[in-house]
Amino acid sequence: MTLLSLLLPLLILAALGLAYLLRPLPDELASTRQWLAGARQLSSQAGAAPPASLVQAASETPAPPLPDVEIVDPFRLRQDAAAPPATAVERPPQRVRRDASEEEDDEPVPSPRPTAPLPRLLGTLRQQDLMLALIDIGGATHRLQAGQQLPDGQGQLLTISETHIEIADPQGTRQTLSLESPAPQLEPLAARRGAPRRGARR
């Protein structure tokens, strides 16, 4: 093999590549002009453009005014902003109307105050020398030992035995809860305040 037989394929490939690079390239400006002319012919064939006088008359006539539409405020924010703040308006306490013979019921009716959930003893645990109480307060179970405070400032856990615990509320009143006893129930407010009797005159 001679050197010429090895270089001949490379020379042929180089000549073909040079011929490809030197070929005439299309003129982009001329091709763009041809495309625009073709697009104009298609648009004129699809439909004639409206006369210039009609286009000018349409542009000169004013558009009819839009009807007045009341904007609805779905959250009534504008009304709330116009109203005075709620703290500025003071309302007298509502009174319950009764006969003159029922003088005790002429007191204003107090609004119910939210009360803290009452504790309930679920059980006790003994871990070595430590005694723990499982107490349910408002659906949450707490594990407390003697001397610890109940959640939400409801008092302090004083003593723990196998079947009962003793707690003291913040005022110092002691209360014993046992496993058998349900949660202590408070007397309804209406019963303590002298609720109207069923046979009362109206």
Domains of the chain: 119-179 (2.30.30.830)
Give the pair of three-digit tokens for residue 8.
Answer: 């001949």
pTM: 0.35
Place 14 in a pLDDT band, splitting at 50, 70 and 90: very high
Instruction: Give me the chain's average pLDDT, please.
Output: 74
Using one digit for the tens of pLDDT, what is the confidence trace for 150-201? 887 888 989 998 888 899 988 888 888 887 665 555 455 455 455 555 555 5
Chain centroid to CA 177: 40
Over 70: is that where the pLDDT of 34 sits?
A: yes
Share of the chain above pLDDT 90, in %: 5
Cα(164)–Cα(175) distance, integer angstroms? 10
Using one digit for the tens of pLDDT, what is the confidence trace for 40-72? 888 877 666 556 666 666 667 777 777 777 777
Is 174 in contact with 183 (CB distance < 8 Å)?
Answer: no
Q: What is the pLDDT of residue 112?
A: 61
Over 70: is that where the pLDDT of 133 sits?
A: yes
Q: What is the pLDDT of residue 16?
A: 93
Cα(61)–Cα(56) distance, integer angstroms? 9
Cα(189)–Cα(100) distance, integer angstroms? 23
Nearest to 116 by CA among 84, 86, 150: 150
Is 177 in contact with 120 (CB distance < 8 Å)?
Answer: yes
> Residue 121: exposed, middle, or buried by beta-carbon count in 10 A (0-12, 13-18, 19+)?
buried
